[in-house]
Amino acid sequence: MKLEVRSVGKGFGERTILKNVDLTVRDREFICILGHSGCGKSTLLNMIAGYLLPDTGTIAVDGEAIRGPSKARGMVFQEHALFPWMTVLDNVSFGPEVQKMPKAKAKETAMEFLKLVGLETYASHYPAELSGGMKQRVGIARALASKPDILLMDEPFGALDVLTREMMRMELQKICSQLKPTILFVTHSISEAVYLADRVVVMKHGAIADIFEVGIKHPRTPSSPGFGDMMSRIERVLMDEEHSEIAEAKVGT
């Protein structure tokens, strides 16, 4: 599986959101797309999902252009978007059932993925009975149960408290080590990106400013050799223009 983004541009009205974006994602690669709010990272993810179409350029998987949503690309949002009237098991089995999997097999598949995220004992519970972190784990299980070629994650831990977020990063890393899916993960956290990614794509003002190969063996921690240096390198790219603007403002005063 190879995802290719070629010369992609996108705007809304007179506002340019993305301009001339090029990115190739390899099979089973974990890519973090990092940047400040409004840099275009979520728009890019939504175009890869097929929810939006590019104004210019192409996005293709194995040479076939993306023209709309597909079960081959699963999405996990910041808000879990679970069906509140369905049990946890029914939420996770929903995708396989929509794909015409026999109901008993769909439930069996759903239970497998609930076990993977450590929530099999909550199969009969409803979303309102779960914590924020548990809901997000159900959301990940639901996306994985449809067995997508690419998993797209739009700041999935952004609404969680710090401790739950740390736990979810570790859970996701465990899942990746077992299933080895291709993942594109949007975040504005440098430490989260370095903790999770094979490569970190830094976006600024609708364009890719730089791409970093992390190259640190898993499992990683902030004390892993090279972790702090990688964070500093990424931060310099993110902050470079901001510092320039501050300097220019000082000169002008």
**Where along the chain do its domains lie?**
29-49+63-226
Topology of domain 29-49+63-226, CATH? Rossmann fold (3.40.50)
Task: Note every long-range contact of 178-181, with CB atoms under 8 Å and residues 24 or more positions apart, other chains counting.
Answer: 178/116, 179/116, 179/144, 180/28, 181/28, 181/144, 181/148, 181/150, 181/151
Q: Is the pTM of this model over 0.85?
A: yes
Q: Where are the alpha helices (DSSP H) in 99-161?
A: 103-116, 132-145
Strand ranges, E, within 26-149: 30-34, 56-61, 64-65, 73-76
User: What is residue 35's three-state secondary structure?
Assistant: coil
Looking at residue 132, its pLDDT comes to 87
Question: What whole-number distance in Å separates Cα of residue 151 and Cα of residue 39?
Answer: 21
Question: What whole-number distance in Å separates Cα of residue 72 and Cα of residue 229?
Answer: 36
Angle 41-18-245 (CA atoms, 0-180°, nearest 5)? Answer: 85
Looking at residue 249, its pLDDT comes to 40
The per-residue pLDDT for range 217-251, each reduced to its tens digit, is 988 999 999 999 999 999 999 988 554 443 334 33
pLDDT band, residue 124 (cuts 50/70/90): very high
Kind of pairing between the strands at 199-204 and 207-213: antiparallel
